Every structure is written in structure tokens, then in C-alpha cells.
Amino acid sequence: MAYIIFSLGVLCLIGIAGFIAGAETAITGASKAHLYHLAKKKDQRAKKVLELKGKMTTSIGTILVLNQMVVYLIPIVSTLFALKYFSAAETAIMQTIIAVLLMTYAEIFPKMVAIKFTMEYALFVAPFVDVIVLCLKPLISLLECCARISMKLFRMDVENEHASENPDEELRGAIEMHSSEGDEDEEQKKIMLKSILDLEAIRVTQAMVHRKNMSTIDSSLPVAKIAEELMNCQYSRVPMWKDNPENIIGILKTKTFFRALQLSNENIENVKINSLISPPWFIPETTHLLEQLQNFRKKREHFALVVDEYGDLMGCITLEDILEEIVGNIGDEYDDATDEEMKIQADGSVIAYGTTPVRDINREFDWSIPEEDAATIAGYIMGELRKIPDAGQVYNLAGYKMEILRRQRNQIVLVKITPMSISEDNNSI
């Protein structure tokens, strides 16, 4: 009878130790994002796991202490029993068997189960662990105090447990991990999600339309001429200028103009342009896209003018420009399908206009041309060379061969870009 009680007792202790070891693995590995999702659906167990993860040092400390207490109790019980009932040889065999059982069923097996069913295991053990944390709180607080003193002796930061966590990097890692290699739709989703995270780091100057490419109208023109230009314009909002194209005095909405024309019984002379234009909205060049997206939403506007530190006009940014940073180019019936900014060649090289944004090139071909100091590929080349190169010149910049195909006055018009890896392969053939 004693043998049966002893065996059942040891197996029970091993089972408890295994349960606790699995709880440590499950709670540590449970996805916070998944837990938040379940907690929003009023899952109380998910809330418990989040609470335990929120005080991870205490939770893990409690689990480890309890595990050590149980594991420490097993050899004590077995030794006392062996002294009474077993010989030295039998005791050695028994201790070996218990050690194997401990390693297998108190460590390896429960942790394998916890890794396989992390979320289910974490939700199951959370209520039990929460009670244990509450019961052992005084002891754990004392042990934590000793551990913190030891960490201070080694000059380790103990004030912020989460100092090393970077939510953005965790999100990027999750996006990369869950994307399917070779699946075009999944790849597009990955690009879009990463682009959303990038909005906070991109300035409006990297996505804006430069002032040279803006469609503007002279406010001093006759109303009939303004109507003609609006009819030929593909944009719903057009900046109006006075005296010089950089002196923007207001924004004219195409719909507002033609509605006023209709109300005037098609009498164009009765349309007063100055009463139709709205005040321009100027934003500094240092504004980031995420901030501007939020500003567009607050002001219920779709159009802003970008100025530098001296108040000089640099360009314009629209809601569509920001959305294109996330989803890619948004074409419409007004866009010329033949006027592509980038054309890939048979040898793997790309021909791009000098005004093509570096970000667009990197995103389209998964390249890594530096984009921090220049918005366009022409700007990047001139910034690196500190001069305006002539047509026909070739340069190796940041691992890419860049050939100037066309230059017009002080502008780089057309560039051929070839990754060095492709260039070397072509030369070796």
C-alpha cells in the first residue's frame, strides 16, 4: 500500500511541476495582439493573461518559485521513502527513474504541449496562476527586492522592464512572418501594412507634387479663360495665383465654379472668381505624412500647400498622395497609361524619369536606394555627386549603376538604373 501511495504522490508532484512549467512557456509566448482581440470580446481569461504579462517579472517569478518548490519536494519525499523501504541499489535505480520522469514530464513534454497550443494553454492556466500570484505575493516581493538589489550592483537598469520593446519593430516582424512567400496578393498586403508604419517617418516633401508640376491658374485671367482652363484640367482643386505663380492667393474647386456658372444662368460675366476661392492652407515642409493625414481628417480638407522655412512655396500635397504611399499608384480615367514613370528593361535594369520618387522605385522593385535626403532619383544623384552630371555619364551609387540618359538644362530628365548584381551578371556572360 505504501508503494502505491508513494508512486501516486510522486507522479502527482511531477504532474504539478509539468503543469507549472507549461504555464511559464504559454504565458510568455502568448500573442499580445491575439489576447487584446479576445479581451475586446469580453473574454475574462484573456484579460487575466494580459494582466499577468503586464507584470511579467512577478508572474514568471511566482511560477519559477512554485516549480522549484515542487521539484525540490520530490527528491526529499523519495529519499525519505527510500531510507525506510529500499536498499542502496534500489534507491539509485528509483532516483534515476524519477530523474528521467522529471526531465520528460516536468519539463520537455509540458513545454512542447505549451508551444503547440500556446493560446489555449495560456487561457486555461491563467485563473490558476493568478490565484498563485496572489497567494505568494509577499514571498515573491521579497525575492524581487533581492534580485533588484543584485541588478543594481551590476549597474543594470531595473526601472523600465519594457525599455527594450519596440512595438513598430514587433509589428514589422509579425508582418514579415505571416506573409506568404511567392503569393502576389499577400506580398501586396505586406507592402501596404509596412507603408502604414512608415507614414510617421516620411515628410510631406517626399510625397508632394513639386511646384514645377503643379497645375495653377492666374486669377487675373478673364473668367472665360479660367473656365476653359478648368475644363481642360484633370484636378478638382486648382491653386489660384496673383502677380507670380508662387504667390498663391486661394484654391478654386472646379465643382464650385461650374455650380456658380449654372446659377448665373450660364452668364459667365456674373461669376466672381474672388468670391469662389477658399483660403489656401499652408503647411511646413517638416510635417510628416501621418500627422498630415490626421490634419486632413480633422479639417475635412484634401489639399494643402507645402512651404519651406522661408515661406516659399515648395509644392502641394493631397489626400490621394498620402493614400498612394499606402496602396501604391491610384490611376484614373485622366491618367495617361503610356506615360509610365518607370519602365523595366529585358536585362533587369529600369529606366525612370528624374522626377520619379526614390520611394516609388524602392517599393516597386524592392530596392534599397537611400531615400532620407532626397525625394526624387534626380535629387539623390545630384546630392551624392554634388554636381549636375552630363548625359552619357555612368556612376556607381549605393550598389546601383546609374546612367544619365537625358539632361535638359539643369535637370536630369531620364536615368537608367541597374543593380550591381545584375550588371556583374551581364558582364560575366
Q: Are residues 133 and 59 in the same domain?
A: yes
What CATH number is attached to the domain comprising 286?
3.10.580.10
Q: What is the largest CA-CA distance in the chain?
A: 117
Asked, for residue 334, whether it belongs to a domain, the answer is no
* Arithmetic mean of pLDDT, 27-33: 86
Q: Are residues 173 and 209 in the same domain?
A: no
User: Quick one: CA dihedral 356, 362, 367, 369, positive or negative?
Assistant: positive
Q: Are residues 28 and 148 in the same domain?
A: yes
Asked, for residue 161, whether it belongs to a domain, the answer is no
Determine contact, residues 140/58, Cβ cutoff 8 Å: yes
Domain boundary (126, 153, 180) is at 153
Band of pLDDT at residue 178, cut at 50, 70 and 90? low
Asked, for residue 160, whether it belongs to a domain, the answer is no
Cell of 18: 509539468
CB proximity list for 116: less than 8 A, separation 6 or greater: none
Band of pLDDT at residue 425, cut at 50, 70 and 90? low
Q: Are residues 259 and 317 in the same domain?
A: yes
Asked, for residue 65, whether it belongs to a domain, the answer is yes
Closest CA to 257 of 280, 243, 240, 281: 240
- Which among 74-83, 111-120, 418-427 has the top mean pLDDT? 111-120
Please state, in angstroms and as integers, the Cα–Cα distance from residue 172 to each residue in 151, 164, 184, following that order. Answer: 31, 16, 18
Q: Are residues 12 and 144 in the same domain?
A: yes
Q: Which residues pair with 34 in a beta bridge?
A: none
Band of pLDDT at residue 337, cut at 50, 70 and 90? very low
Cell of 372: 532620407
Determine contact, residues 306/208, Cβ cutoff 8 Å: yes
Q: Are residues 10 and 149 in the same domain?
A: yes
Domain boundary (153, 185, 219) is at 153
Q: Are residues 225 and 321 in the same domain?
A: yes
Domain boundary (272, 303, 327) is at 327
- Prediction pTM value: 0.62
Asked, for residue 335, whether it belongs to a domain, the answer is no
Q: Are residues 371 and 349 in the same domain?
A: yes
Q: Give the span between the Cα atoms of 111 and 96, in whole angstroms.
A: 22
Asked, for residue 380, whether it belongs to a domain, the answer is yes
Q: Are residues 316 and 353 in the same domain?
A: no
Total domains, the chain = 4
Q: Are residues 120 and 191 in the same domain?
A: no
Q: Are residues 111 and 180 in the same domain?
A: no
Would you say residue 163 has pLDDT above 50? no
* Arithmetic mean of pLDDT, 182-198: 77
What CATH number is attached to the domain comprising 405?
3.30.465.10
Pinpoint the alpha helices (H) of 215-347. Answer: 223-231, 254-263, 273-276, 289-299, 319-327
Q: Are residues 196 and 208 in the same domain?
A: no
Q: Give the span between the Cα atoms of 212 and 217, in whole angstroms.
A: 13
**Structural domain for 288, as ranges:** 202-327
The single residue listed with the C-alpha cell 505504501 is 2
The single residue listed with the C-alpha cell 490565484 is 131
Q: Give the span between the Cα atoms of 26 and 344, in whole angstroms.
A: 49
